[in-house]
Amino acid sequence: MAMLKVTDLKVYYGVIQAIKGISFEVNQGEVIALIGANGAGKTTILHTVTGLLKPKSGKIEFEGTDITKMPGHKIVALGMAHVPEGRRVFADLTVYENLMLGAYTRKNKDEIAETLQMVYTRFPRLQERKTQLAGTLSGGEQQMLAMGRALMSHPKIILMDEPSMGLSPIFVNEIFDIIKQVSASGTTVLLVEQNAKKALEIADRAYVLETGNIVKSASASELMNDDSIKKAYLGE
Amino acid sequence: MSLLNSILEQLINGLRTGSIYALIAIGYTMVYGIAKMINFAHGDIIMVGAYALYVYSSILKLPLVAAIILTVVTCSVLGIITEKIAYKPLRNAPSLAVLITAIGMSFLLQNVALLIFKATPIPFASVVNVSGIRLGSLYLSGTTLVTLGVTVIAMVALTLFVNKTKAGRAMRAVSEDRGAAELMGISVNATISLTFAIGSGLAAVAGILYISQYETLMPTLGALPGIKAFVAAVLGGIGSIPGAMFGGIILGIIESLSKAYISTQLSDAIVYGVLVVVLLVKPSGLLGKLKIEKV
Ligand SMILES: Nc1ncnc2c1ncn2[C@@H]1O[C@H](COP(=O)(O)OP(=O)(O)OP(=O)(O)O)[C@@H](O)[C@H]1O
Ligand SMILES: [Mg+2]
């Protein structure tokens, strides 16, 4: 059974249809990439999956539970974390406070402390800056904070929306290394990326989205050798 | 010596009135921070608080402590209910619609009070029976002492709550980015309700202190402190809790000094003049941060 199963999803903004009936699946342990041009609907899909947007029709199941109508704040507790587009860290809160908000739905203090230690080990910069306001971090550091914050919920699956956007090449590599580590530690990953090349390098499978429709779905290696994909997304 | 004495006396008067403004202003500012709306019915919660205290203590003859607690609870619940029935359905509506609804809510509360308690003012002796103290040639009345004491306690408690507790942290997160807060597992609805409950509870406290000073119940009694506190919140920087506290106190002091030394008639004009000048120099208010509106 798929961990995350989306069936015939349709999402509207007012009268404009942004998602036109898409279906996809993410299995336990996979890294799935969702690639597509600007405005294809990638962010809309992630927002709908984590409950920030409600679909007009279709079904979203997580580990067999229908979460289509569940309010966003309850979905996190099931084990789904979302690193949103543009990071959206809480600028006026400290790094530490941001991380603790990531663990908002968890109760066990010892377990939270353990996860915090794990996050600090993975992102030493966050530990160095834990008392600093998040708004004063650099873009790359904010991205790390957004990822660390998502990890604080100890998720089974983590959805990431363009984590490499606007970062220097060194930071981009660092972020992709971390995604690999997160995946290696057993967390399932659904990755939205403009940087299709990098995304396909670490993904198992990928879906290609064009103006609200999934136009292709294949293994990452297959897509990397697909001529039309090469031309449209890999710049070759 | 006697001028110094009179200035000190006016400062203390200003502090007392300013404390009440500050308690009310906190409600405006917190609700604005979380729900991004100006709750113009907030002033009328003060009025409800004053009448509630009257009903519980004078009519039902409950012990004072019980009457005060019930008054605060009544106003908190009323705050939650107004949000749920009047403002929540408009969460994604244009701000003008919300503003008009809030003004309508204000009229509704006043008219319900008018219906129940009639227009004739009801005398209601202060429930504060603390004796005043004399500091040298300066006299501090019991009401003044209680007002200052209660305000300090409320402000310290609120500051600790907002900055040190999990719920307070969630509140700050919601006021910054509702969607991201939702992604953390924070219920935005519950947080908004909590904010209205706290703001209205503080307005109830302000209502009790206010009525202890003026000792007359009228359905419109909340309007004046309500508008002054709103000015205080804007002066301090709407959205900022320390700003509301500071703005309230400053406004009370300016008002009292200008009443005593310039002119009673002009004091309101001076208060609004200060507001205009502050906003010209610093549009975000004294302690407010300039926020770039996200579209
Ligand atoms: N709040 C909104 N109101 C109206 N239309 C919207 C809104 N948000 C997105 N859209 C539209 O929905 C479509 C999909 O947008 P979405 O943000 O999901 O794209 P995306 O694939 O994430 O793009 P990008 O790579 O630029 O982030 C676009 O045509 C966009 O204009
Ligand atoms: Mg996007």
Render pLDDT for B158-196 as a digit per residue (tens, 0 to 9): 999 999 999 999 999 999 999 999 999 999 999 999 999
Per-residue confidence (pLDDT) for residue B295, from 0 to 100? 37
Nearest CA in chain A to B174: A90
What's the domain count of chain B?
A: 1
Neighbours of ion ligand 2 (CB under 5 A): A 42-43, 85
Strand A65-66 versus strand A57-62 pairing type: antiparallel
Chain B: nearest CA to A125, how far in angstroms? 22
Is residue B259 assigned to a domain?
no
B200: Cβ–Cβ under 8 A, 6 or more apart, which residues? B27, B42, B45, B75, B76, B78, B79, B80
| Contact (CB, 8 A) for A90 and B176 | yes
Mutate which: B169, B184, B194, B294, vs A, most A CBs within 10 A:
B184
Examine residue B260 and state whether it is found in any structural domain, yes or no.
no
Domain limits at B178?
Answer: 24-222
| Domain-embedded: residue B162 | yes
pLDDT at position B37 is 92
Q: How does pLDDT run across B27-64, given as a tens digit for each residue?
A: 999 999 999 999 999 999 999 999 999 999 999 999 99
Residue of A11, A12, A42, A82 with the most ligand 1 atoms within 8 Å of its CB, for mutation: A42
Question: Ligand 1 test: best mutation among A44, A50, A54, A164, most atoms within 8 Å of CB?
Answer: A44
Query: How far away is chain B from the Cα of A234, in angstroms, using its nearest Cα?
Result: 31
Distance between CA atoms of residues B145 and B130, nearest Å: 8
Supply the pLDDT for residue B129: 83
Identify the burial level of B260 via C-beta atoms within 10 angstroms of its C-beta, where 0-12 means exposed, 13-18 middle and 19 or more buried: middle
Residues B103-139 have pLDDT tens digits of 999 999 999 999 999 999 999 998 888 888 988 888 8
Average pLDDT, chain A: 94
CA of A193 relative to ligand 2 center, distance in Å: 9
- Please name the residues in contact with B134: beta carbons below 8 A apart, sequence gap of 6 or more: B140
Phi/psi for B291 (5° steps) reads -100, 135
CA atoms within 13 A on the CB side of A178: 27
> Is B191 a member of any domain?
yes
Residues whose CB falls within 8 Å of the CB of residue B180, separated by 6 or more in sequence, listed in order: A84, A88, A89, A90, B173
10 Å CB burial of residue B77 (0-12, 13-18, 19+) is: middle
> A4-233 sits in which CATH class?
alpha beta
Question: Ligand 1: does its nearest atom lie under 6 Å from the Cβ of A41?
Answer: yes
For A148-182, the pLDDT digits (tens) are 999 999 999 999 999 999 888 888 999 999 999 99
Phi, psi for residue B99 in degrees, rounded to 5: -60, -45
Q: Domain boundaries in chain A?
A: 4-233
CA of A42 to the centre of ligand 1 (A): 8
How confident is the model over A113-133, as a mean pLDDT?
96
Token digits of residue B145: 């002492």
Chain A nearest C-alpha distance from B102 (Å): 26
Position B290 scores a pLDDT of 62
Q: Does the distance separating the beta carbons of A84 and B185 come in below 8 Å?
A: no
pLDDT score for B1: 57
- Kindly report the backbone phi and psi dihedral angles of residue B38, in degrees, each rounded to the nearest multiple of 5, phi listed first: -95, 115
Beta-strand pair A188-193/A205-210: unpaired
- Atom 29, ligand 1: which residue's CA is nearest? A39
Whether A88 contacts chain B with CB within 8 A: yes
Give the pLDDT mean for B185-214. 96
Taking any CB pair shorter than 8 Å as contact, residues of chain B touching chain A are: 166, 169-170, 172-173, 176-177, 179-188
Residue corresponding to tokens 């003859």: B61
Q: How far is the CA of A41 from the centre of ligand 2 (A)?
A: 7
The DSSP 8-state label assigned to residue B291 in this structure reads: P
pLDDT over 80 at B291, yes or no? no
Does A58 contact chain B (CB < 8 Å)? Answer: no
